[in-house]
Amino acid sequence: MPWFKRVEKGIHTPTEEKKETPDGLWYKCPDCKTVTSMVEHRKNLSTCVKCNYHDRIGSREYFAILFDDNQFTELDADLVSGDPLNFTDTKPYPQRIAATQKATGLKDAVRSAYGTMNGQPITISCMDFSFIGGSMGSVVGEKIARAIDHARETRTPFLMISKSGGARMMEAGFSLMQMAKTAARLALLAEDKLPYISLLTDPTTGGVTASYAMLGDFNIAEPGALIGFAGPRVIKETIGKDLPKGFQSAEFVLEHGFLDFIVDRKELKQQLSDLLAMLRPESDGKDNLKSKNGKAAKVS
């Protein structure tokens, strides 16, 4: 079964969710300090109208940007974290989870969904930094693994949007093994020859960088995103020097050969659609070139 479905071309502007209430009326860009109305900022997909600074957004916004008419079916929405280690630091882990769930309205640091993007079916997992720094615990690993399974079962491309500080320490060894679990599923996805696009957004560090985020057929990033394995503070302590300007920015990572391209959020949907369109399998009955070559090889 081909994973590519040919569709009519059309630009869809994402629709705002109606229940959404803006936190304030004005947005001030942390980079160039330009002030715009929140309505205009949102309309610009939370990028600065003046300097194009890409403000951090979450799964709700990315789904609205990418899925046609903001229509999608969420996968494993009810998966929540256990507390296998009875972990307590300055407060017990279950309390931390409950408080974060209440504050964010999210169940954990990743959401998965499927739907269409410019008419093309796609499965997407997207991380939420607002949930304990987008840290990767069992729920994150399991939801991503299941989303990849969904992509394999439905033969749809898989898009992973990463935004994470790395491991969830409160799940210790379990957290570490999520790197392995997700990598294993991506190995199977690759065997099935289904496209995997990894979008790295600000910030993507630690165990997330060292597993699924860097394993895309295409590793792409938003402008200015911080991307690295070790955090800047740790590196600074190690080398005992200030870090060069722009170190670990998306542009730096592109320059060093670990990204395919950087994409403006406003062009993300179209760029992804165009890229996936170029990967579509050749139509049936046109691959007789291969058999001809096979015969020729036998004759000689």
Per CB under 5 A, residues contacting Zn ion are 29, 31-32, 34, 48, 50-51, 53
Pick from Zn ion, another protein, none: which does 53 bind, CB < 5 to 8 A by kind? Zn ion
CA 38, CA 145: separation in Å to the nearest integer? 36
Report long-range pairs for 51-56 (Cβ below 8 Å, ≥24 apart).
Answer: 52/223, 52/264, 53/29, 53/224, 54/201, 54/202, 54/222, 54/223, 54/224, 54/225, 54/265, 55/27, 55/29, 56/129, 56/163, 56/201, 56/202
The single-letter DSSP state of residue 90 is S
Structure-block tokens of residue 204? 């993507």
Rank residues 171 and 202 by Cβ distance to another protein and give the closer one. Answer: 171
87/71 Cα distance (integer angstroms): 38
Give the residue from 269, 232, 224 showing the smallest Cα distance to 251: 224
Q: How many CB atoms lie within 10 A of CB 87?
A: 15
Q: How many residues bind another protein (CB under 8 A)?
A: 62
Q: How far is the CB of 21 from another protein (least distance, A)?
A: 26
258: partner contacted, choices another protein, Zn ion, none (Cβ within 5-8 A by kind):
another protein
Can you tell me which of 187, 192, 274, 281 binds another protein, judged by CB under 8 A? 187
Q: Which stretch binds another protein (CB under 8 A): 19-27, 62-70, 180-188, 292-300?
A: 180-188
Interaction partner, residue 14 (Zn ion, another protein, none; CB < 5-8 Å by kind)? none
- Binding string to another protein for residues 160 to 179, with x set by CB under 8 A, is what? -------xxx-xxxxxxxxx
Tell me which residues in 8-67 interact with another protein (CB under 8 A). none
Q: Are 3 and 157 in contact (CB under 8 A)?
A: yes
User: What is the contact surface with another protein in residues (CB under 8 A)?
Assistant: 78-82, 84-85, 87-90, 107, 137-139, 141-142, 145, 167-169, 171-181, 183-188, 190-191, 206-207, 209-215, 228-230, 234-235, 238-239, 243, 247-248, 256-258
